[in-house]
Amino acid sequence: MTPLPERPITVIKPSKGWVPVDLRDLWSYRDLFYILALRDIKVRYKQTLLGVAWAVIQPLATMIIFTVLFGRIANMPSDGIPYPIFAYAGLLPWTFFANAVTNSGNSLVGNTALITKVYFPRLLIPMATVAAGLVDFMIAFGILLILMLLYGVPFTLNLAILPFLLVLTSLTAVGVGLWMSALNVKYRDVRHALPFLVQIGMFVTPIIYPPSAIPEQWRWIITLNPLAGQIEAYRAAIVGRPFDWLPLGVSVAVTAAILVYSAFMFKRMERRFADII
Amino acid sequence: MRPIIKIENIGKQYRIGGPKREPYATLRESIVEKASAPLRALRRQSDSEDELFWALRHIDLEVEQGEAVGIIGRNGAGKSTLLKILSRITEPTEGRVDLYGRIGSLLEVGTGFHPELTGRENIFLNGAILGMRREEIKRKFDEIVDFAGIEKFLETPVKRYSSGMYVRLAFAVAANLEPEILVVDEVLAVGDAEFQKKCLGKMSDVASHGRTVLFVSHNMAAVKSLCGRTVLLDNGEVTASGGTDEVISAYLSGAGGVENFIDFGDCGFIHEDIRVNSLGVRAVGKNFSDPILRDNDIEVIAQLENGDTAGHVYHLTLRLKGEDGTFILVTSSSSFDEELIRPGSQQVRMLIPKNFFNLGTFYLDLLLVEDHRRIVAIQDDAVSFLVNPEENPLGRWMGITRGFLRPTFDWERIV
C-alpha cells in the first residue's frame, strides 16, 4: 500500500467570492482539451452531404453577395483593394469569430450530461469549441490564397503576422464565448440572443466598409471594438500595407480585459452549473 | 492510521423547486425578481426556512485506505448528492472534505460517449473525461477492448452498438481507471447478469489492491459481497454506520417514514355504528415490525366492529398507490364475499401472493363503502409499506426493474 501524502491532494469546501482560474488543474487536463476539440471537429460534418465544404461555402458565398451588393451596386469604398479581397479578408476572421462565439456560447448547455456526471475544469468545454473552429479557418484561409493569386495580390512578409492575429482573435472569441456560455447556463435567453448579437456585430465591425468611411471624430468608437483593429490588421497583412498599430494595441488591451473579466465571471458561476443547468 | 477521505460536517442546501421545477431562469424573470426584491425581503423573514432544503446535512465520515464502504438509503436520502460532492461535480454549502488521493468517479457509465464516434475514438474520449492521460489510455487500450469484448466493432460508431455492448465498453473504460479512490453509483443497474458479476469482481479487485471504493447501490447482495463497512443515509443524515450486515438489517427493518400499522383509536375510522379499529400490513407469519421481502406472502389485516342494526351492507375497499402517488389498483371485499363483514367484532384479511410487487414503497387508502354505492369513510395513505429485495443469488439481474408490479405468471413451452 502506498503511503498517503502529508497534505490532502484535494480539499473540497464551499468557495466564496471571486476565485482565480486554477491554471495547474487546467494544464493537467490538457489531453481532454485536445480530445474535446478533436471530437467537435470530427462530429461537426458527420452526416452532412457537403461535409467540410461548408467551411468554404459560408465565407465565400457571403463574400460574393457582398461584392455584388456593396462593391458593385452600393459602390462601397474599399481603400483601393479589390472588393472581393477586401470583403473576404474581413469575413475570414469574422466568420471564425462568429461561429466560435455561437458554438461556445451553446457549448456548456450542449454538454449537460458531462457537467452533471463528471468533474473536469468546465473552462475546457467553451475553449475546446473555439479551438475546433480553427480547422474551418484554415480551410477558408486556403481559399483566400487562391483568391489572392486570382486577383494578383502579391504575397508579402506582412503575412507573417497572421499566426499572432489568429491567436488574438481566438482569445477574443474565448473571452466572449466563456461569458456567453456561463450566462446561457442560467439564462437561456442567450441562445436566442446570440444569432442576433452576432448579426449586429458584423455591422459594427468594419467588414463591409473600411474604417476610413467613418467620419474622423467618431472613428475611436469603432476602435473600441476589439475585432475592428484585428480585421484591419488582417487586411494590411494580406494586401501588404503598413500596419496601424494603435487600433491593434487597443484590441489587445480590450481582449485582455474581456478575457480576465469572463474568466472570473465564469469561475463565479461555475460552482452552480451542475445544480441549475 | 490516517484516513484517505475525511468528511467533516458536509451539508448541501437546495432551494426547493429550484433544481427541478425551474430548470433555468430567464433574464426577464430575473429582472422581475430583482424589481420585487424589496417586497419579498419583507415576506422572506417569515418563510425563508421553508424555501430551502438540506439534501445533506452534518455528514461526518472517515474512510481508511483500502476500505470498501457501501452507502445505502432510500431514494432521495442524499446518496447521490454525497457522491457528487466527493467527485467535485457540485459544491457543498458547508463543511469540508480532505482527499488524500486521486478520486475517480463512475456516476453513470458511458458519460461523454459520443454516438457518432467509433468505439476506438470513444475509448479515448471517455478516458480523458474520466481524467486519464492519453498515454495511460494507450497503455490500457488492449485491456479495455478485451474486457468489453468488442474487438470486432472498434471502428463502428457507437450509435450502432447494442445497449449491452455500449454499457460493456463504458464500464471497461471506467474499470481501468486507476485512482486511489473509486466512487461508484448504481452501475450495476445496467448490463446483463454475467457482466454485472464481472463488474463486481473488478471492483473487489480494486479494493483488494489497497485502493479505496465508495459504492452506492440499492442491491444489498452486491453491497454485502463488496463492502466491509456500510453507511446508511436517511433524509440527508447518517442514521447508521458500521458492519455491513448490521446496517443492512437496520435499513430493512427500520423502514423510516413507512407506517405499516395504524391504530385509529377513539376518534378514528368510524361511521355511525361501524368502526375500523386498526389496519396493518405484514409478511404472513411475521410481525408488523419485520421487513417485508418480495418473496413473502403479504397480508393486510383490518380489525373492525360492526354494531349496525339498520341492515346496511358494508365493504372495505383498498386503493393501492405507488411511491409517487400513482394509483396502481383498487380492490374491494365486495368482489370476494357479499357478506364478509358480519355483525360484531372481527378481523378481516386480504392476501397478496408473493412475488407480486416490484421493490419500493406502497401506500394504501382505506375506504368504507355502504350498500355498494356510498363511500362513508375514507382515509388516504392509511398505511404504507416497503417491499424489500428477496435474497438473490449473486450473478442474477441486480439492476432496477421498472414498474410497480412484478408478478410471477406462468410461463411454459407450448411447442
Task: Calculate what percentage of chain A has a pLDDT beyond 90.
Answer: 60
Predicted confidence at residue B218, as pLDDT, reads 72
Confidence of residue A58 (pLDDT cuts 50, 70, 90): confident
Can you read off the three cell numbers belonging to residue A182?
456561463
CA distance, residue B245 to nearest chain A CA (Å): 27
DSSP code string of A210-246: -GGGS-GGGHHHHHHSHHHHHHHHHHHHHHTPPP-HH
Task: Check CB contact under 8 Å for A275 and B14.
Answer: yes
Task: Check CB contact under 8 Å for B24 and A11.
Answer: no
Cβ neighbours of B25 in A, within 8 Å: 186-187, 276
Q: Which residues of A touch B (CB under 8 A)?
A: 1-2, 4-5, 8-15, 29, 31-32, 34-36, 39, 42-43, 46-47, 113-120, 185-189, 271-272, 274-277
Q: Convert the pLDDT of each residue in B49-77 to its tens digit.
A: 457 888 899 999 999 988 899 998 877 78
Closest CA to A147 of A195, A81, A225: A81
Out of B92, B111, B116, closest to residue A113 by CB: B111
**A190 has a pLDDT exceeding 80:** yes
Instruction: State the average pLDDT over residues B297-305.
Output: 92
Q: Convert the pLDDT of each residue in A89-110 to its tens digit.
A: 999 999 999 999 999 999 999 8
Angle B202-B206-B211 from CA coordinates, rounded to 5°? 165
DSSP code string of B124-192: HHHHHHTT--HHHHHHHHHHHHHHHT-GGGTTSBGGGS-HHHHHHHHHHHHHT---SEEEEESGGGSS-
Cβ neighbours of A10 in B, within 8 Å: 88, 97-99, 103
**Cα distance between residue A61 and residue A129, in whole Å:** 24
**Cα distance between residue B279 and residue A186, in whole Å:** 49
Cβ neighbours of A120 in B, within 8 Å: 129, 131
Amino acid in the structure at residue A83: Y
Out of A39, A115, A187, closest to residue B125 by CB: A39
Task: Calculate what percentage of chain B has a pLDDT beyond 70.
Answer: 85
- B133-147, B172-186, B284-298: lowest mean pLDDT where? B172-186
Averaged pLDDT score across all residues of chain A: 90
Task: Check CB contact under 8 Å for B92 and A13.
Answer: yes
**Cα distance between residue A87 and residue A69, in whole Å:** 11
Q: Convert the pLDDT of each residue in A197-255 to its tens digit.
A: 999 999 999 998 998 888 888 888 888 999 999 999 999 999 999 999 999 999 999 99
Out of A12, A46, A277, closest to residue B116 by CB: A46
Cβ neighbours of A1 in B, within 8 Å: 65-66, 210
Predicted confidence at residue A178, as pLDDT, reads 95
- Measured CA to CA in angstroms, residue A202 lies from A72, A103, A255 at distances of 20, 17, 17
Cβ neighbours of B18 in A, within 8 Å: 275-276
Instruction: State the average pLDDT over residues B354-375.
Output: 88
Cβ neighbours of B128 in A, within 8 Å: 29, 31-32, 35-36
Confidence of residue B357 (pLDDT cuts 50, 70, 90): very high
Out of A15, A188, A189, closest to residue B91 by CB: A15
Half-sphere exposure of B365 (CA within 13 A, CB side): 20
**Cα distance between residue B173 and residue B260, in whole Å:** 44
Residue of B285 and A113 predicted with greater confidence: B285
**B19 has a pLDDT exceeding 50:** no
Predicted confidence at residue A1, as pLDDT, reads 64
**Cα distance between residue A65 and residue A62, in whole Å:** 5
**A196 has a pLDDT exceeding 60:** yes
Instruction: State the average pLDDT over residues A33-41.
Output: 91
Predicted confidence at residue B18, as pLDDT, reads 41
- A66-80, B92-106, B178-192: lowest mean pLDDT where? B178-192
Residue of A125 and B291 predicted with greater confidence: A125
**B39 has a pLDDT exceeding 60:** no
Residues 6 or more apart whose CB falls under 8 angstroms from that of B367 comprise: B316, B317, B318, B319, B375, B377, B378, B379
Query: What predicted TM-score, i.e. pTM, was given to this entire model?
Result: 0.74
**Residue-level length of chain A:** 277
- A59-73, B246-260, B291-305, B348-362: lowest mean pLDDT where? B246-260
Task: Check CB contact under 8 Å for B88 and A119.
Answer: yes
Predicted confidence at residue A272, as pLDDT, reads 84
**Cα distance between residue B359 and residue B390, in whole Å:** 9
Q: Is B297 helix (H, G, I), strand (E, B) or coil?
A: coil
Count Cβ atoms below 10 Å from residue B410 Cβ, excluding itself: 4
Predicted confidence at residue B380, as pLDDT, reads 81
Out of B91, B94, B132, closest to residue A271 by CB: B91
Instruction: State the average pLDDT over residues B402-413.
Output: 88
**Cα distance between residue A61 and residue A158, in whole Å:** 27
